[in-house]
Amino acid sequence: MHLARNYFWVQKILRERFCHHFCAAGKLFGMEQQYRHLLELLRRTTVHGESNSALVIGPRGSGKTALLNHVLKDLREMTQVRENLLEVHLNGLLQTNDKVALKEITRQLQLENVVGDKVFGSFAENLAFLLEALRKGNRTSSCPILFVLDEFDLFVHHKNQSLLYNLFDISQSAQTPVTVIGLTCRQDILELLEKRVKSRFSHRQIYLMNSFDFKQYIKIFKNQLSLPAEFPDEPFAQKWNNNVQHLSEDKAVQDVLQKLFHHSKDLRSLHLLLMLAVSAVTVHHPLLTAADLQEASRQHSTDSKANIVHGLSVLEICLIIAMKHLNEVYDGEPFNFQMVYNEFQKFIQRKAHSMYNFEKPVVMKAFEHLLQLELVQPLERPSARAQREFLLLKLLLDSSQIMEALQLYPNCPTDVKQWAASSLSWL
């Protein structure tokens, strides 16, 4: 009973950690410098009323939002800052044009033209109102405003980039102190800014690169899997943490991690792997083992398309093999059903011993199933008039995928396997 509760806690703590990437409660890895830079920037905004603008750039999953959340959390805890900073959070995926963005800004700032959650006035009025409000403020008396633009690259596509122009313009003139922080994963973001907007941007770029090596990666792995000191059952936590320490030194585990590290450095994929592994932990399977991680890694890296092939019928497999041969013969040129059918007929007539010759409509049906599974893709949208037999198609599988899938395919007839191995073998 007691043990069951422990496992409940283990699952809860670890899953929360793996799911809420942005959560400020988590830890930051390998971005101390960026953290200090951003914290200092925002601190100066609030304390000195200094306007700034900065971009946080890094690939997906590199911890941009987490960094910002950490900085904001720590900022709010400072005494000089508390209640002294207005925050406006925008997201390029939500505020798809300036009109919406403007309403959202006004709403979040709770300016006087906001009643309840509604913003009054036309777009032009709102813009004029907001600009006037910001213009009236000054460095020493107005409350600083922090604008956070998530998915910053999407704001760039707004008409004339006037929102960005105005925000950056305010940050470069003696008005209400504002700091504009943009978060984006695009490295070419500066090239997207219009020249006037670019000139007003202060060119502070904070790069997050996942610039840690494998040793640090192992450390992160340990850290992410360890139970916190405040875990209710201390001996259990001790035991768990010892096991984690043990795992991190295990060669098999290191291999798994090394493979993942080679593929992707971002911590979200690590979280995903650990999530799969931790899910296996129960009362009957008390501790995480290397085998769990290996299994998780296998699941994590399976090929999704090849997986589909495993569930196909022999006829469908034959069609795919026919298409593979066509691809080899015609060097990847598109094909149609008739060509595939002919290829299949050749195999049936000359080579097959165990295969039953299907009617053409049956083959067609199997072919359409493949189409639905998106293993083959038409070049253009099928129109009502065009005959389905002659619709040009492409195979979305690589020959290596097909061969691999065939190896694992249960009860595959030998002649089909032989045919797959060589298109010339029937000669």
Partner 1 sequence: MNTRQQSKLIYSWYGKPLGSDRKLRTSHYKGILITSESSKTETCIQLGDFILVEGVNADQPYVAQLVDLYEDGAQHKHAVVQWFCRLEEIPQNQRKMLKRDISAQEVFFDQVLGYDTDIAAETIIKSIMVIPLHLGEELPVITLNKEQTFYVKQSWDGKCFKVLSPDTFSKLKEANKTRGVITNSSKASIPSDIFTPVKKKTESVVRSATKPKKIDMEIESKHSSSKSSLSKERHSQRMANNDIKTPTARKKLELNSPTRSKGRLLGYEVLGLLDDDCDATAPLEQSATKRKVKFTNDILGSPPKIPCSDDKSKSTTQSAEHHQSDIMRLSPYTKVNDFSDEDKNLQEKDDVPSLGGYQSSQSPVVTPRSRRRCVQKTSALIAEQISMLDQEDFLSDSDSSYSLSSEEKEDDDDDDVPCTPEKKTKSNRILSTPKSSRKSAVHTPAKTLRKTPLKGTPRTPRNATPEIPRRIQATQEPASVLEEARLRLHVSAIPESLPCREEEFQDIYNFVESKLIDGTGGCMYISGVPGTGKTATVHEVIRCLQQAAENDELPPFQFVEINGMKLTDPHQAYVQILEFLTGQKVTATHAAVLLAKLFSTPGPKRKTTVLIVDELDLLWTQKQNVMYNLFDWPTQRHSKLIILAIANTMDLPERIMMNRVASRLGLTRMSFQPYTYKQLQQIVSSRLKGVKAFEEDAVQLVSRKVAALSGDARRCLDICRRATEICEFARQKRAPEMVRMAHVTEAIDEMFSSPYVNAIRNASLHEQIFLKAILAEFRRAGVEEATVQQIYHHHVALCRMEGLQSPTVSETMAICSRLGACRLLLVEASSKYLHMRVRLNLSQDDVMYALREE
| Interface with partner 1 in residues 227-246 (CB under 8 A) | none
Residues comprising the chain, all counted: 427
Residues 288-307 that bind partner 1 (CB under 8 A): 301-306
Residue from 165, 236, 240, 409 in contact with partner 1 (CB under 8 A): 165
Residues 242-281 that bind partner 1 (CB under 8 A): 259, 261-266
CA distance 208 to 409: 44
CA distance 227 to 234: 10
Q: Which CB contacts under 8 angstroms, 24+ apart, belong to 184-192? A: 184/55, 184/56, 184/57, 184/151, 184/152, 184/153, 185/57, 185/58, 185/59, 185/60, 185/62, 185/64, 185/153, 186/57, 186/153, 187/57, 189/55, 189/57, 189/152, 189/153, 189/156, 190/55, 192/153, 192/156
Residues 9-28 that bind partner 1 (CB under 8 A): none
Closest to partner 1 by CB, 89 vs 196, is 196
Nearest distance in Å: CB 380, partner 1? 13
Residues 352-381 that bind partner 1 (CB under 8 A): 377
Nearest distance in Å: CB 2, partner 1? 42
**H or E segment to which residue 230 belongs:** none
Closest to partner 1 by CB, 187 vs 349, is 187
CA distance 230 to 233: 9
> Given the rule CB under 8 A, which of 10-18, 226-234, 245-253, 398-406 is the region that contacts partner 1?
398-406
Residue from 114, 314, 371, 373 in contact with partner 1 (CB under 8 A): 114
With vertex at residue 160, the alpha carbon angle to CA 196 and CA 49, rounded to the nearest 5 degrees, is: 55
Please, are residues 286 and 326 in contact by the beta-carbon 8 Å criterion?
no
Residue from 401, 405, 406, 420 in contact with partner 1 (CB under 8 A): 401
Please, are residues 28 and 67 in contact by the beta-carbon 8 Å criterion?
yes
Residue from 13, 23, 39, 131 in contact with partner 1 (CB under 8 A): 131
Residue 262 vs residues 258, 265, 276, 292: alpha-carbon distances, Å: 6, 7, 19, 20
Count residues contacting partner 1 (CB under 8 A)?
93
Please, are residues 146 and 179 in contact by the beta-carbon 8 Å criterion?
yes
Nearest distance in Å: CB 156, partner 1? 12
CB count within 10 Å of CB 95 equals 23
Q: Which residue has the tokens 């195979």?
A: 395
Nearest distance in Å: CB 85, partner 1? 9
Closest to partner 1 by CB, 86 vs 348, is 86
Closest to partner 1 by CB, 57 vs 72, is 57
Residues 185-214 that bind partner 1 (CB under 8 A): 185-188, 195-196, 198-200, 202-205, 207, 209-211
CA distance 13 to 274: 13
Residue from 65, 84, 96, 108 in contact with partner 1 (CB under 8 A): 84
Closest to partner 1 by CB, 264 vs 294, is 264
CA distance 15 to 274: 9
Residues 31-50 that bind partner 1 (CB under 8 A): 36, 40, 47-50
The distance between the two most distant Cα atoms of the chain, rounded to a whole number of Å, is 90
> Given the rule CB under 8 A, which of 158-166, 240-248, 335-343, 347-355 is the region that contacts partner 1?
158-166
174 binds partner 1 (CB under 8 A): yes
143 binds partner 1 (CB under 8 A): yes
Closest to partner 1 by CB, 171 vs 423, is 171
